[in-house]
Amino acid sequence: MSKIGLIIGREIKSKLSNKTFIVMTFLTPLIFVGAIAMIFWTSMPEKIEQNLLVIDQTGLFEQSLKGNDFITLTFSKQDIGKAQDEFPKSNYTSILFIIKGSDGNIIPQARLLYKKHPGLAFKTYIRQEMENIYYEYKLQSNNIDPAVISSARQAFDIKMDKVDETGAVNHSEGVQLFSFAMGLIMMLFILMYGMMVFRSVMEEKTNRIVEVIVSSVKPFELMIGKIIGVAIVGVIQFLATAIITSILSVVLSGIFLKEINEMKSQFDDNKQTVMKYGINAGAALKNTAQFKDNQKMFETMEQLQKIPFAKVAIFFVLFFIGGYLFYSSLLAAIGSAVDSEADSQQFMFPIMIPLMIGYFLAIKIMISPESNAVVIGSFVPFTAPIVMMARMPLDPPMWQILTSLAILYVSFILTTWLAGKIYRTGILMYGKKTSWREIGKWLFYK
């Protein structure tokens, strides 16, 4: 055990002193949090002032169409040709020309002239406001009271809460996209640290360093030391990344907190309006377009708050360790059996297939989280770390989680034993093209 401890210490020291490893430990959370900040920043409405000249041939929208905090409307009766000629030198940013039909009827068609493209949000807001006005006009023209239609069509808010075996409601609906992200992160972590073991074995074998090392320790002890050493480094990096990410998230939330609170307050007011007046609340909303844009975001944030993050973090570490140990033992065996990465391709493909199956099952969780394929994949050790981690935010039964962990760790012991048989022969094998048949023979060497 003392020799294994020395090997573990050597692996930890070599990885922690590696400049690339240190840089990536700090760079990864910066990239992760930066990506989230970029997504949030780009999703927020930009306060770009728009001065819109409206030429309404129909007369329907002159009293009804309203602007908002960023859009100022000016109505005019002038000819569109003259307005277009004067437009380049005017203070208007856009001209909205509402066309009247040749038969004198109002048609749902308009033309927008602009100097600089006003963006999709501007177009969406104007279109939705005009659609609401035209909708009410068509109802009234057919002697239908819009208020009756609006009150009859109500929005239903369906809240999903999970009931456990005891009948208690634990309010943990979860978010399917977040679940998929957890499965994807697990796959990337297992592959990244497993490949770290693979390259370490190959490097020592290629440089013939291993010939000196195995003169003092058994090949199996060397393999176990490498696997455990990199596992400890992985957990250290994971914890460091989690701490840095948490700190950056707190700083980031402080920067955006004021704007988030303002958006949330307006969203809650608009939500109550929709619940009261129905889906055709229309002008009753403070900003119809912004409400619809923010609706999904804030509903997702509310669901995220229900996820048991402490539980997810604990089992993430446990499944990462189990999945890493399972796959790294196989990758260490492959690294010992080949002389170059080019020769390893035929052996890497069978390793990658289960990981890809786990990835596709994680996608399936977003569609059918309790399907037979997903549940079975939660117990198969080749896919369990990815699939069960993807299910974790959805709060699967505890017996399934513990059973999956038990199968995974027992499978690790079995694969380590098999990998050790391959490793002890392959690590000192040079200059010979290795095949699956040859590896099969190594398993029975004494």
* 44 occurs within a structural domain: no
Which of 91, 123, 152 terminates a domain? The answer is 152
Among 87-101, 245-259, 373-387, the minimum mean pLDDT is found in 245-259
User: How far is it, in rounded angstroms, from Cα 274 to Cα 265?
Assistant: 14
Please give the full DSSP string across 207-267, using - where no structure is assigned: TTHHHHHTTTS-HHHHHHHHHHHHHHHHHHHHHHHHHHHHHHHHHHHHHHHHHHHHHHHHH
Stretch 155-181: mean pLDDT: 62
Both 130 and 15 in one domain: the answer is no
pLDDT in tens, 327-353: 888 888 887 777 666 667 777 888 889
Q: Are 9 and 221 in contact (CB under 8 A)?
A: no
* 312 occurs within a structural domain: yes
- The structure tokens 């290629």 sit at 206
Cβ contacts of 38 within 8 Å, gap of 6 or more: none
Both 215 and 356 in one domain: the answer is yes
Position 186 scores a pLDDT of 85
Q: Cβ of 305: how many Cβ atoms within 10 Å?
A: 9
Domain containing 113 equals 50-152
Both 98 and 243 in one domain: the answer is no
Both 203 and 178 in one domain: the answer is yes
Both 148 and 258 in one domain: the answer is no
Both 7 and 102 in one domain: the answer is no
Q: Are 22 and 14 in contact (CB under 8 A)?
A: no
Q: Are 230 and 11 in contact (CB under 8 A)?
A: yes
Both 101 and 232 in one domain: the answer is no
Both 215 and 107 in one domain: the answer is no
Position 286 scores a pLDDT of 47
Q: What is the pTM of this model?
A: 0.64
* 121 occurs within a structural domain: yes
Q: Residue 98 belongs to a domain with what CATH number?
A: 3.40.190.10
* 355 occurs within a structural domain: yes
The overall average pLDDT reported for the chain is 76
Both 291 and 209 in one domain: the answer is yes
Among 243-247, 261-265, 438-442, the minimum mean pLDDT is found in 261-265
Which of 119, 152, 185 terminates a domain? The answer is 152
Both 387 and 242 in one domain: the answer is yes
Which of 120, 152, 184 terminates a domain? The answer is 152
The sheet carrying 94-100 orders its strands as: 71-76, 50-56, 94-100, 106-114
Position 46 confidence tier, pLDDT thresholds 50, 70, 90: low
Both 12 and 86 in one domain: the answer is no
Both 30 and 66 in one domain: the answer is no
- The number of folded domains in the chain is 2
pLDDT in tens, 380-408: 999 999 999 888 877 788 899 999 999 99
Position 289 scores a pLDDT of 47
* 307 occurs within a structural domain: yes
